[in-house]
Chain A
Amino acid sequence: DAGVIQSPRHEVTEMGQEVTLRCKPISGHNSLFWYRQTMMRGLELLIYFNNNVPIDDSGMPEDRFSAKMPNASFSTLKIQPSEPRDSAVYFCASSFYPAGGVLTFGAGSRLTVL
């Protein structure tokens, strides 16, 4: 398996633009997580899905953020409109639930909002 695939790896955009980050989990995994990493706040869990259903989205910062998982092999994290404070590395991870916390992470999408 190629692992968790994230795209784009790097995104530079201007404030106010819509940003869509994509994730392909490992085949057979039924849980998917979106994390955000910044110097100031460290790794924050934004949202996670079990069997394509959002279970906990309490970490989503505000209504500008939304995440979907239309099927078992694809998820998106959308920011609309984007703001400079959204600049961060966004990680997607997947696991086989119940996995006891054993997650496989993608390489991350580095977002810069100017």
Chain B
Amino acid sequence: AQSVTQLDSQVPVFEEAPVELRCNYSSSVSVYLFWYVQYPNQGLQLLLKYLSGSTLVESINGFEAEFNKSQTSFHLRKPSVHISDTAEYFCAVSDRVSQGGKLIFGQGTELSVKP
């Protein structure tokens, strides 16, 4: 079975500052890793994913995450945040055996960007 731990429940940050949202996972098999974002009163949206290949993956709005197998981590980073990045961010894992059929989410990290 897989599990995901997001180490920070809330991260307040000022606009244009860098941010890192931490995620660790546990699994006995190879995994796929994801970050989803949830804006207020909306469903979750895929932000970025690691399936294979390069361990550094990027989103279209400047976020990036790096898969670190030895540390079982998939931290999310952005060098300069905007007010519009305020949202809740979820790290998720699925196992390669089921080819992503079952997605397990972390508890979420609330990112609050202040002007």
Residues on A lying within 8 angstroms of B by beta carbon are: 4, 31, 33, 35, 42-43, 45, 48, 50, 55-56, 91, 93, 95, 97-103, 105-108
Contacts and interface: CB of A to CB of B under 8 A. Distances in A.
B43 A91 contact: yes
Contacts of A97: 99-101
Contacts of B92: 101
A56 B98 CA distance: 11
**Residue in B34, B43, B44 whose Cβ sees the most chain A Cβ within 10 Å:** B43
What 8 pairs between A and B have smallest CB-CB spacing? Answer: A105-B43, A98-B99, A101-B100, A100-B100, A43-B105, A101-B94, A42-B107, A105-B44
9 contacts: A35-B105, A42-B107, A43-B105, A45-B103, A55-B102, A99-B100, A101-B34, A107-B41, A108-B43
Nearest to A55: B101
Interface of B: 32, 34, 41-46, 49, 51, 90, 92, 94, 99-108
Given A48-B102, A55-B101, A101-B92, 20 more contacts: A4-B43, A31-B101, A33-B103, A42-B106, A42-B107, A43-B44, A48-B101, A56-B102, A93-B44, A98-B100, A99-B100, A100-B32, A100-B51, A101-B32, A101-B94, A101-B100, A102-B49, A103-B103, A105-B44, A107-B41
B43 A100 contact: no
Contact of A106 (B41, B43, B46, B108): B43
A78 B100 CA distance: 26
Nearest to A33: B103
Contacts of B107: 42
A49 to B, nearest CB: 10
A30 B103 CA distance: 15
Nearest to B51: A100
Given A100-B49, A101-B94, A102-B49, A45 B43 contact: no
A43 B106 CA distance: 8
